[in-house]
Amino acid sequence: MKNIAILSFLLSLFLVACGDDSSSSASDSNEEAEIFSSSSSKANKSSNSSSSSSSKANKSSNSSSSSSSKANKSSNSSSSSNKKANNSSNSSSSSSKKANNSSNSSSSSSKKAETVPKDVQNWKDTTEGAIRKSDITDTIYIFDNKKWRVATLPEASLGGCNEKKVNFFGYAEERETQDMTDPRTNKCTEPYSSYCYHANYHPDFYICQKDFDNKFYWEHLDAFGYDYICNDSSYYANKNDIHWGGIDPIKCVNCKQEIFDYFENICKKQCYKGRFTMNVLKCATDFDDCTESLLGATEEGPTIKSKTEIKDLGEDCYRYHSYVTSIDSTNKTTYICRIRYIGYNYETSYIKPHPSYQWDVASDFDLDALPTICTWDIDGQIVVGKKNTYICENETLRLATPVEIDAGFACTMYMGDSGNCKGEIISGKNNKYVCDESGFRYATQEEIETGIACSSCIILNGLSCNTETEKEFGKTCTELKSIVEKCRANE
């Protein structure tokens, strides 16, 4: 049940682990979650596919460079007269074209169709974004910026991405002769630029998006793009409109019915308020808003399950997104109004972020401990329930150990790792303990006699001694130094 309560917190969560990306959508998330690991596997496969395409492109580029080099050598060797130079230059140019044609025909990368076939050269101008297949090769071309060029993989199946196609999406099929390079990759001039995280194209679903520079591009469609297809601005009246997600069939480019049904099924389980993702309970129930006055209140509602996807952005940055997979109104679940401190990192931060009141799946421990609610404010403290004794840890209740019950609190990492630099010994009802980085341990007889614990902090940093320290410990600096030396010797 503890896992259910934790995982439920993930619903509709949209976070970036390396920065402050907590949004208003995160403040209302609380559905029961299932661990979803296949997305990571798919991401790896996609990465491998992208690497393969990139490798092919590099091979093709090297081949073309070799041909160009030969052509340049031929041109340089024919400089005895202007006429001979021109003839030689023309000859070397012809050789270069033949070399390029040979390179193009032997490669399956984006460079393969670099030489424009004769039929394409005779094509007339047309509408921007229009695509057309060559009669000579299998390559598809796109009319872009008033000229024909080889279409990227998504463009070959879905056409050009422009203002009219924003939030349109579809599947890009395998086509080896298309350009596999995301044009945004060419903008990668700084190692930490967001443009650096765009892998080469590969067969998959893509969505037409518009960036901050008002440029249009086909973006890989994953769970992070579902809100764009499920909650277009045309689907709601105003920013306070609470509604289920939906999908416009027109925006699913060349979609078969089963593909449309798949995404429609996802969209119908997403809840929105205006353009923001909301706790699905907002749409599925008539619960009152969870506020401070309702803390500890419980309600019965449908059982909701979700999946979580993780996206690796590079440089130890990750995005997390959860979305609902099922809503079962026949199977009831108990929810509790509680407070969460969204974005708080218990392992690295002491800063208390903005609190969020929300309906959350109630565990058996939560119900047993009522009216006490486990929050950040009582982290590490003992909570006595009707049936069991608990420890509130990371906003979740767990059963307290006998040592914690005897000591009266939990040895948290703050006390153990950096908070016991004075060698404090804890006197429980039955025994004496030391809170160290691995948790509580029994104090040794020598520690009890000296009154100072050999904590990891003291062993590492020692004790800075002055008149106040001598008064605090009731020992001279010489005696304290001797204790530290013995601690280090016995480590």
Residues in the chain: 491
- 8 A C-beta contact, residue 25 and residue 10: no
Q: What pLDDT is attached to residue 377?
A: 84
Tokens of 265: 């099924």
**35 has pLDDT over 50:** no
Burial class (CB within 10 angstroms; exposed 0-12, middle 13-18, buried 19+) of 243 = middle
Phi/psi region, residue 129 (left: phi>0; alpha: psi -120 to 50; beta: rest), is left
Q: Tell me the per-residue pLDDT of 105-151, one tens digit each, with 9 for 90 and over.
A: 334 444 444 566 777 877 888 888 888 888 888 899 999 888 888 89
- Measured between its terminal Cα atoms, the distance across the chain in Å is 40
Question: What is the CB neighbour count within 10 angstroms for residue 425?
Answer: 18
pLDDT at residue 469 in the model = 84
For residue 448, list its beta bridge partners.
Answer: none
- Confidence (pTM): 0.56
Crossing angle for the helix pair 82-105 and 38-77, to the nearest 10 degrees: 160
Average pLDDT over every residue of 274-288: 88
Q: What is the rounded average pLDDT of the residues 410-416?
A: 66
Check: CB of residue 374 under 8 Å from CB of residue 22: no
Provide the token pair at 169: 């999406």
Greater confidence (71 vs 314) lies with 314
Q: Closest Cα to residue 194, out of 212, 218, 175?
A: 212
What is the pLDDT, as a whole number, of residue 43? 36
**Tokens 């032997």, residue located:** 106
Q: Residues 6 or more apart from 229 whose CB is under 8 A from it?
A: 167, 169, 207, 221, 247, 251, 252, 263, 267
pLDDT reported for residue 368 = 97
The tens digit of pLDDT for each residue in 318-374 reads: 667 778 889 999 999 999 999 888 654 545 555 556 788 999 999 999 999 999 999
Residue carrying structure tokens 């992208």: 50
pLDDT at 102 over 70: no
For residues 469 and 474, what is the distance between their CA atoms, to the nearest angstrom?
A: 8
At 5 the pLDDT is: 39
pLDDT at 74 over 80: no
The answer to whether the CB of 271 falls within 8 A of the CB of 11 is no
- pLDDT, residue 130, reads 87
Tens digit of each residue's pLDDT (9 = 90 or more) over 229-276: 898 777 777 888 888 998 888 899 988 899 999 999 889 888 998 888
Q: Sign of the C-alpha dihedral, residues 402, 407, 408, 414? A: negative
> What's the pLDDT tens digit per position in 201-239?
889 999 999 887 778 889 889 887 888 889 877 777 788
* Percentage of residues in the chain having pLDDT higher than 70: 68
Nearest-5° Cα angle at 208, 203 to 211: 120
- Average pLDDT of span 196-200: 62
Tell me what the mean pLDDT of segment 154-159 comes to. 91
How high is the pLDDT of residue 154?
A: 92
Q: What is the pLDDT of residues 384-396, one digit of tens each?
A: 999 999 999 988 9
Q: Is 322 helix (H, G, I), strand (E, B) or coil?
A: strand
Give the sheet arrangement for strand 439-442, strand by strand.
Answer: 426-427, 432-436, 439-442
Angstrom CA distances, 28 to 13, 290, 359, stand at 8, 10, 8
Structural domain spans, the chain: 2-45+165-371, 53-115, 407-489
Contact 278, 304 (CB under 8 A): no
Per-residue CA distances from 187 to 110, 153, 194, 440 (Å): 18, 19, 9, 53
**204-210/216-220 β-pairing:** antiparallel
Element (H, E) at 93: helix 82-105
C-alpha gyration radius of the chain: 32
pLDDT value of position 89: 39
Question: What would the mean pLDDT of 408-425 be, rounded to a whole number?
Answer: 72
Report, as an integer, the average pLDDT of 72-91.
38
